[in-house]
Amino acid sequence: MCGIAGLIHRGKSSNVGAEMTAMLRALKHRGPDSTGFAVYGEPSEGDYVMRIKAAEQEDMDKGHGIHGQIAQRVEEIEACLAEHGAEIKAKENATEYALRYIISHDGDTEDMARHIEEIEGVEILSLGNGLELIKDLGDADVVSEQYGLGEFSGTHGIGHTRMATESDVDIRSAHPYWAFPYNDVSVVHNGQITNYWIMRREMERRGHRFMSNCDSELLAVYTAHNLANGVSLEESLKRSIEEIDGVFTYLVATKDQLGMAKDTMAAKPLVLYESDDLIVLASEEVAIRAILPQEIDTYDPYDEEVRVWKA
Amino acid sequence: MEGVSPDLEYGKKQEARARELGMMSEQLKGRSMETFFEPAEDENYTYAFAKDVDFNKRTEVDADGMTTTEVNRSIRELMDEGYGTIVIKNPRGMHSLGVGILNRLNLIIDGSTGYFSTGLIDGPNVRINGRVGWSCGENMMAGTVMIEKNAGSTFGAAIRGGDLVCKGHVGSRTGIDQKGGTIIVGGDTGALTGFMMQRGRMIICGNAGKNLGDSMYDGTIFIGGEIRSLGVDAIEAELTDLDRSWLNRKLRQYGLLPEKGVDHFTKIIAGKQLWNYDNLEPNEKKLIL
């Protein structure tokens, strides 16, 4: 049992950070292990936001050497950025182990991303023009405050509260997953994927990387694979219902879109509110009511239902 | 019919009508014949701790800022004070509202609720002026629950009695494991509706998703719209005059009677081809084999 939520404002920006925090706070009972947000601000062409982690939260308690190691990893990251012709415009430490860079780059970000991840202990959490992906252990309030999400303004976002069932409680296994190396695409998932290893081997044969043993990561890789091959988001979501086994409901966000897919058994919940200027999705109604307390009409999407909305 | 008392004759007639409606079609043998619920007894059954409430005594509870436990406790406290009509304001998707009420009561929930609303109830009349989440009315024994908007999945799971009505659309696995009572849906229903249904009746005015009535043991599903696919061992049966009159009465009662009447409804029952009961316990079977 995990909690997923997403929203998209049509044609305007809003305080998405505070809205997503309120929704995930309401879903805390579905998963207290970790919380993650993928929120989308106004995209700036040419400038990329890169969220990166240089260590796991648990590593911080393991010894004195970790601070030195992190400093060394950061140096390597920056050397790598310079090597690929990326200029660092801004840099901030969200936590001791998580960094946020704004870089300008006009080359191949995929090659750069692959190079950076060769550094031991380093994982790029997200890379994109508008995407800000943060995830850490703790509930929505803890993570939101730690990363200063409350003030974030944007058009859309997705989020996840995790109850770990298939893999460890660490940032590596926390959602959302960035669809490496596909810029601005992120995924949150509720369910279990039963043909994970078969699909993972297939994806690995095609050259995709997996950073965790969490089955949800497969959906991000799968989506990235489809998008890279020119498949539309809607088509990718439809194909996933055929090709991926198990029980799943998942949300995908891109630079300007929000999509959902529900498996053939409709075994994982999702409630949908749709109006002309706002679409809100969540595992439970109580999360939608956290931002829309007035009386509204909501419904449960059916089995095999796929929907995509544009900002 | 000389020598037969009028009561007995009436009883036989009622039994014949009940059989025709598919209400007493179980043909179980041996141990399975044990009667767990006797309708005649249930009618007169009241709990020793039942509260004496006055339906004309009305009050409101504002759920804003309260926890589910606090709201449910306040319902009980108000019933202790004799309130027979209780309105819950601002439920805002709260889970488990109005569960376990074993009393006569008019409960009005003015808004939408989350999971397991009015589960395990025995007696109250509930109206929910919004949408409900998963497992609404689960295991209810008696009473009526009316939902004005849509409902989530496993609507009326394992209900044993009463009327559970949703005027909008419902999710998947509606009436899973239904053991009695009536589920009425004004709109569409999702996949696996009536999965493992055992008794009772279900009326779906709209369309049904795939695998309707999958693995049903018994009971009847009436469906007004399209069926995407029938489940294993679910078959179509002929709609009788008695079915039509019952459908008419039930749907009119809740304001859901379609303009074109009920002639277009399809009746789905269990094919009973998968029935494979025996009367032996596993350890007894070992002795014989």
Q: Do B112 and A285 touch (CB under 8 A)?
A: yes
What mean pLDDT is predicted for residues B63-84?
96
Mutate to test the interface with A, among B172, B174, B185 (most CBs of A within 10 A): B172
Q: Which of A159-168, B41-50, B249-258 comes out lowest in average pLDDT?
A: B41-50
ipTM: 0.86
| A265 and A275 belong to one structural domain | yes
**Which chain B residue's Cα is nearest to A292?**
B92
B287 located within any domain: no
Put residue A63 in one of left, alpha, beta given phi > 0 → left and psi -120 to 50 → alpha: left
| A26 and A165 belong to one structural domain | yes
- How far B199 CA sits from the closest chain A CA (Å)? 24
Residue range of the domain that includes A79: 44-129
**Which chain A residue's Cα is nearest to B155?**
A300
| A58 and A206 belong to one structural domain | no
Q: What is the pLDDT of residue A244?
A: 96
Coil/strand/helix, residue B27: coil
Q: Do A302 and B209 touch (CB under 8 A)?
A: yes
Q: What is the pLDDT of residue A1?
A: 79
B25 located within any domain: no
For residue A18, report the phi and psi dihedrals to the nearest 5 degrees. -70, -35
pLDDT at B4 over 90: no
The one-letter amino acid at A78: E
Please check whether residue B95 touches A, CB under 8 A: yes
When divided into structural domains, chain A yields a total of: 2
Task: Report the mean per-residue pLDDT for chain B.
Answer: 88
Spell out the long-range contacts of B199-207 with Cβ–Cβ below 8 A and sequence spacing 24 or more.
B199/B23, B199/B26, B200/B159, B200/B160, B200/B175, B201/B21, B201/B22, B201/B23, B202/B174, B202/B175, B202/B178, B203/B247, B203/B250, B203/B251, B203/B265, B204/B174, B205/B251, B205/B256, B205/B258, B206/B169
Residue range of the domain that includes B132: 49-274
> Tokens 């202990």 — which residue?
A121
Which residues partner with A299 through β-bridges? A272
| A194 and A301 belong to one structural domain | yes
| A90 and A190 belong to one structural domain | no
Those residues of chain A whose CB sits closer than 8 Å to some CB in chain B are 264-267, 269, 271, 284-289, 293, 295-300, 302-303
Q: What is the pLDDT of residue B111?
A: 94
- Known catalytic residues of A? 2
Q: What is the pLDDT of residue A30?
A: 94
**Which chain A residue's Cα is nearest to B129?**
A295
d(CA B175, CA B122): 17
Strands A177-178 and A156-162: unpaired
When divided into structural domains, chain B yields a total of: 1
Read off the CATH number of the domain in which A168 is found. 3.60.20.10
d(CA A45, CA B125): 59
- How far B62 CA sits from the closest chain A CA (Å)? 13
Task: Tell me the percentage of chain B whose pLDDT exceeds 70.
Answer: 85
The one-letter amino acid at A281: L
B203 located within any domain: yes
Q: Do B93 and A269 touch (CB under 8 A)?
A: no
pLDDT at B23 over 80: no
The half-sphere exposure of B95 on its side-chain side, counting CA atoms within 13 A, is 12
| A144 and A35 belong to one structural domain | yes
Q: Mind listing the pLDDT tens digit for each residue in A272-296?
A: 999 999 999 999 999 999 999 888 9
| A82 and A92 belong to one structural domain | yes
Output the CA angle B280-B284-B285, nearest 5 degrees: 75
Confidence class for position B278, pLDDT limits 50, 70, 90: low
B80 located within any domain: yes
Confidence class for position B31, pLDDT limits 50, 70, 90: very low
Q: What is the pLDDT of residue B34?
A: 46
Residues of B whose CB is below 8 A from A303? 172, 190-191, 209-210
**Full pLDDT tens readout for chain A, 311 residues:** 799 999 999 989 999 999 999 999 999 999 999 999 999 998 777 789 999 999 988 888 877 788 899 999 999 999 999 999 999 999 999 888 999 999 998 878 888 999 999 999 899 999 999 999 999 999 999 999 999 999 999 999 999 999 888 778 888 889 999 988 888 999 999 999 999 999 999 999 998 988 888 899 999 999 999 998 999 999 999 999 999 999 999 999 999 999 999 999 889 999 999 999 999 999 999 999 999 988 899 999 999 999 999 98
Cβ neighbours, 10 Å, residue B106: 17
pLDDT at B32 over 50: no
Query: What is the layout of strands, in order, in the sheet containing A278-282?
Result: A131-137, A34-40, A156-162, A3-9, A278-282, A271-274, A298-299
Q: Mind listing the pLDDT tens digit for each residue in B110-161?
A: 999 999 999 999 999 999 999 999 999 999 999 999 999 999 999 999 999 9
Coil/strand/helix, residue B117: coil
In A80-227, the DSSP E strands lie at: 87-93, 98-104, 123-128, 131-137, 156-162, 177-178, 186-193
| A64 and A121 belong to one structural domain | yes
Read off the CATH number of the domain in which A48 is found. 3.30.70.60
Q: What is the pLDDT of residue B286?
A: 64
Q: What is the pLDDT of residue B262?
A: 96
Please check whether residue B190 touches A, CB under 8 A: yes
Confidence class for position B287, pLDDT limits 50, 70, 90: low
The more confident residue out of B229 and B34 is B229
| A302 and A231 belong to one structural domain | yes
| A273 and A150 belong to one structural domain | yes
Spell out the long-range contacts of B129-133 with Cβ–Cβ below 8 A and sequence spacing 24 or more.
B130/A295, B130/B91, B131/A285, B131/A297, B131/A298, B131/A299, B131/B168, B132/B166, B133/A269, B133/A271, B133/A284, B133/A285, B133/B93, B133/B95
For residue A290, report the phi and psi dihedrals to the nearest 5 degrees. -65, -25
Asked if A74 contacts A95 with a C-beta cutoff of 8 angstroms, the reply is no
Q: What is the pLDDT of residue B30?
A: 45
| A125 and A165 belong to one structural domain | no
Q: What is the pLDDT of residue B285?
A: 62
Q: What is the pLDDT of residue B33?
A: 43
B36 located within any domain: no
d(CA A250, CA A238): 12
Residues of B whose CB is below 8 A from A267? 172
Domain boundary among A129, A147, A179: A129
Domain boundary among A129, A163, A190: A129
B73 located within any domain: yes
Please check whether residue B210 touches A, CB under 8 A: yes
d(CA B44, CA A213): 58
Domain boundary among A72, A99, A129: A129
| A80 and A187 belong to one structural domain | no
Does the model's pTM come out above 0.90? no
B17 located within any domain: no
Read off the CATH number of the domain in which B215 is found. 2.160.20.60
Q: What is the pLDDT of residue A303?
A: 92
Q: What is the pLDDT of residue B24?
A: 58
B31 located within any domain: no
Encode B73-104: b = buried (16+ Cβ within 10 Å), e = exposed: ebbeebbeeebbbbbbebbbbbbbbbbebbbb
Task: Tell me the percentage of chain B whose pLDDT exceeds 90.
Answer: 74
